[in-house]
Amino acid sequence: MTDQKSLLVIGGTSDIGRAAALRYARAGRRILLASRDPDAARRNADDIAARAGVQVDVFRLDLLEIDSFEAFTDGLPLLPDTVLCVAGELGEQQRAQSETAHAVRIIRSNFEGPALVLGVFAERFAARGAGTLIGVSSVAGDRGRGSNYVYGAAKAGFSAFLSGLRNRLAAQGVRVVTVKPGFVRTRMTAGMKLPPLLTAEPEEVGEAIFAADEARKGDVVYVRRVWRSVMGVIGLIPEPVFKRLRL
Amino acid sequence: MTALSGWGRWPRHETEVLSPETPARAAAIQATADGVIARGNGRAYGDAAVGERITVSTRGLDRMRSFDPATGRLTAEGGVLLADVIAAFLPRGFFPPVVPGTKFVSLGGMIASDVHGKNHHRAGGFGDHVEEMLIALPGGDVVACSPERNADLFDATVGGMGLTGTILEATFRLMPVQTGWLRRRTIVADDLDDAIDALAASARSTYSVAWIDCLARGEALGRSLIYTAEHATEDDLDEADGTIAPFPDLPKRGFAVPFDAPGGMINRASVGAFNAVYYRRGAARAGPPELVGWDPFFFPLDSIGDWNRIYGSRGFLQHQCVIPAATAHAALGTILERISSGGRPSFLAVLKQLGPGRGPLSFPMEGFTLALDMPVTDDVEGLLGDVDRVVREAGGRIYLAKDARQSRETFEAGYPRLDAFRDVRRALDPDGRIASRLSRRLGL
C-alpha cells in the first residue's frame, strides 16, 4: 500500500465526472475512471494524466449490467478511498410516458445501477472501516414535477438510498455524501436556456465534491446554496396548489 | 443560423455553427462540408474565423493528450486554450515558448495565426515551436505533418488562417521556468525615434515591447514607455523579498464589461486622459527592474472580461502592420502623425520588434510592428485606408488575424510568398471547400 489516495469515478465520460477527477488529480490522487464507453473515457484519462501528472486508468462498467458489479469491484487494482458516482441519463419525459422501455431505462440508469454499485462498495468499505461514497443525485428528486418526474423519481430513489446508507454506516467509519448540483452547463443540458444564477459550471461541481470530501463534513451538498432555498420553498407549496402549477 | 463576428464584433455574418465533441467528428465534418472554416475561441478580431456557410467550433476538442516532464513536450487537441496550458503547467515549472496578448486563444488559433509574442525577435512565432500537427484535410483525411514530414502542408498551416484544414492536435515544447514572475525594466522614450532605437537596443532582452502615447503630437510624437523583461529566477525572488511564492495563484476572472458602452465613451478626451495618466505612472517607475506577475505582464487586458464591449455596439477595428526595419522610422512616423492629427483616439498602440516569419502567410517579417485599435465610425475607413497606403509603400504588411477590411491590393503587395500558399491550397482543396469570410474577401 502506498500513501497515495485514490478516486474511482463511475461515469468517467460525463462533464462533471471529468471535472471532479481533474480536481482530485491536481491534489495528487490516483484516478480510476469507469465507463460503458472505455474509448471515450480513455480520452479523458489521457487529458487528466497530462495535466496533473498522475496515473489514470480506465475500466469498463455498464450500470445496466447489475450482475457485473461484484466482478468489476474485484477486478480493480485497489479498493479506492473515494467512489464517486456521476452516471445517469436525463432521458425524455414525454417518451417515457408512452414508451415503458424508455421509462425503465431512465429508472435503471439513474436509480437501480448507481444505488446498487455504491451498495457493493459500501459493503467493502464497511469491512475496511473507511471510505467515502459520493452520489450525484438531483434537485429534480426533491419533488416530482410534471416536466421530468420519471427522472425525478429515479433520483428521489437514489437520494433515499444514499440517505439510508449514510444512516446505517455513519458509526462504521464510512461517509456517504449526496450531491445535488442544480443546473449545470454540460452536454446533457446543451441547448437549454438556463438561469445564470442557478447554473453551475462543471468545474464548480467538481470543486464542491472535492471540498466536501476533503473537509470530511457535509452530508447533502447543494453546489449553489441558493438551490437549498429554492427547493425549500418548492417543498413548502401545499400539494393542492402545487398540482396546478406548470413546472 | 447564427450571426457571428470576430473579437472586434464587426463585421457580422450569418453562418451555421457546428460543435463536434471529438476529433473524429471534426474530421467527419470536413469530409462533407462546403464553405467551412474552423474557429477556436473567437479571438481573431476580424472575419478570419467566420465560415462562408459553416463554422466549426473546436472548443469540444479540449483534451490534452500527453506531457513529458523530462522534455516539456506537450501534445494537445486544437481547441485547448492557452490559459489551460498555463494553469496546468506553470505550477509544474513550465511556460509556453511564445504567448500572444491574450491567454484566451486556442492552440489551433495560435498556429493558424502563427501568433507572436514580446519575444519574437529572439524566439520566433508560435509556429516555430510546433513539432507536429494532426490536420483534418478537406475530404476528411487526417494527416500528420511536421517540419520534416509533409513540410509544405506544415508550413502552409502555420499562419494559414485555418485554410488548409482543421487542426485536430499539435505537439510543442514548453520551456522550463523557475518562477511565474518577470523582472521588468521600464525605459522612457521621448519620441518615436527614441522608441525604435530603444527597442532595437534591447534586442538581447527576452521580452520587449513599447506602449505608445498615440495622442502626443509635435516634438513628442511617438513618446513611449518601453518594457523589457526576463523570467525571474528563485534567487531574484529571494533577493527581492523572501516571502514571494514562486508561482502566484492563478487569477480569478475579475471585472467584466457587462454591457455595450455608449458610443461616445471612447473619444479623444477620455483616451487622452487615460494615456497621459498611464504615461506619467509608467515614467515614474523608470529605473531599476521590478517584479511583475506573469498574468499582468503578458495579458493585461485579460483581467477585464469582454473588454471588446467598451467600444460600443458598433464594434471596433484593430489595425496591426509590420514595416521593414529600413523604412520603419519614416513610415511609422507618418502613420502616427495621421492617427494623432485625425483626432481619432486609439486606446491601445503597441510597438514591437519582429524577426523573420515561418509560413508563406505568416505575419512576422524583420522589422517593427505597430498595433492600433479604434471604434468603428463612419470615417474610420478613410483613416485606415491612408495608413494602408503608407504600409504598402514602405513594403510592409497587415496581420490577417486582426484584419476585417484591407483591400486585395494591400494584401497581395504585403505577402510576396502568396503564390506558394495558393499552390498548396489548390492541391489540397481544388474545389475551394474551405472558405472563411476572410478568404473570400481577399481571394485566398
Per-residue pLDDT averaged across A131-150, rounded?
95
Please indicate whether residue A206 or residue B345 has the higher confidence score (pLDDT). A206
Q: What is the rounded average pLDDT for all residues in chain A? A: 95
In a domain, B23, yes or no: no
Residue B25 pLDDT more than 90?
Answer: yes
Q: What is the pLDDT of residues A149-189, one digit of tens each?
A: 999 999 999 999 999 999 999 999 999 999 999 999 988 78
State residue A57's pLDDT score: 98
Mean pLDDT in residue range A49-64: 98
Lowest mean pLDDT among A72-86, A162-176, B268-282, B303-317: B268-282
| pLDDT tens for each residue of B341-381 | 766 667 668 999 999 999 999 999 999 999 998 888 888 88
Q: Is residue B9 part of a domain?
A: no
- Work out the average pLDDT over B19-48: 97
The strands making up A174-180's β-sheet, listed across from edge to edge, are A56-60, A30-35, A6-10, A82-85, A131-136, A174-180, A220-222
Instruction: Determine, for residues A50 and B66 on separate chains, whether the beta-carbon distance falls below 8 Å.
Output: yes
- Give the mean model confidence (pLDDT) for residues A206-213: 97
Cβ of residue A50 closer than 8 Å to a chain B Cβ: yes
- How high is the pLDDT of residue B99? 98
Highest mean pLDDT among A160-174, B249-263, B375-389: A160-174
Q: Which amino acid is at A23?
A: R
d(CA A216, CA B111): 45
* Inside any domain, residue B200: yes
DSSP label of B129: G
Identify the domain containing residue B223 by its residue range. Answer: 181-412
CB contact under 8 A, B67 and A44: no
Average pLDDT over residues B146-168: 98
The half-sphere exposure of B183 on its side-chain side, counting CA atoms within 13 A, is 18
- Scan for cell 519614416, then name that residue: B330
Q: Is residue B56 part of a domain?
A: no
Task: Indicate if the pLDDT at residue B103 is higher than 80.
Answer: yes
Kindly determine whether residue B22 and residue A43, on different chains, have CB atoms separated by under 8 Å: yes
DSSP letter (8 states) at residue B3: E
Hunting for cell 413548502 — which residue is that? A236
Q: How far apart are CA A18 and CA A90, in angstroms?
A: 18
Quote the CA–CA distance of A49 and A18 in Å, as a whole number.
12
What's the ipTM? 0.92
Q: Specify the range with the lowest mean pLDDT, choosing from A60-74, A107-121, B195-209, B269-283.
A: B269-283
Q: What are phi and psi of A213, to 5 degrees?
A: -65, -50
A6 touches chain B (CB under 8 A): no
Query: Does B311 have pLDDT greater than 80?
Result: no
Q: Which residue has the cell 474545389?
A: B431
pLDDT per residue over B410-421, tens digit each?
Answer: 999 999 999 999
- Rounded Cα gap, residues B66 and B346, in angstroms: 42
Residue B325 has pLDDT above 60, yes or no: yes
Q: What is the CATH number of the domain that holds B354?
A: 3.30.70.2520
Task: State whether CATH 3.40.50.720 applies to domain A6-242.
Answer: yes
Residue B238 covered by a domain: yes
Chain-centroid distance of CA A112 in Å reads 13
**Mean per-residue pLDDT of chain B:** 91
Within a domain: B313? yes
Per domain, the residue ranges of chain A are 6-242
**For residue range A29-45, what is the model confidence (pLDDT) as tens digits?**
999 999 999 999 999 99
Judge whether residue B94 has pLDDT over 90: yes
In chain A, the residue whose alpha carbon lies closest to the alpha carbon of B90 is: A51
Q: How many domains does chain B have?
A: 1
CA distance B97 to A118: 46
Give pLDDT, residue B144.
98
Residues of chain A with pLDDT > 90, as a percent, come to: 83
Taking a C-beta distance cutoff of 8 angstroms, is the pair A78, A6 a contact?
yes
Which band of pLDDT confidence, cut at 50, 70 and 90, is reported for residue A1? very low
Per the domain annotation, does B186 fall within a domain? yes
Q: Can you tell me the distance from the alpha carbon of B351 to that of B371, in angstroms, rounded to the nearest whole number?
A: 7
Distance (Å, rounded) from C-alpha A160 to C-alpha A56? 31
Share of chain B above pLDDT 90, in %: 75
pLDDT at B136 (0 to 100): 98
CB of B67 within 8 Å of a chain A CB? The answer is yes
Cα-only R_g, chain A: 18
Identify all chain A residues contacting B63, using CB atoms and an 8 Å cutoff.
43-44, 46-47
Q: Inter-chain contact B88–A50, Cβ cutoff 8 Å?
A: yes
**Residue B131 forms part of a structural domain:** no
User: In the structure grid, which three cell numbers stand for residue A40, read together?
Assistant: 471515450
How many separate helices (H) and strands (E) can be counted in chain A? 10, 9
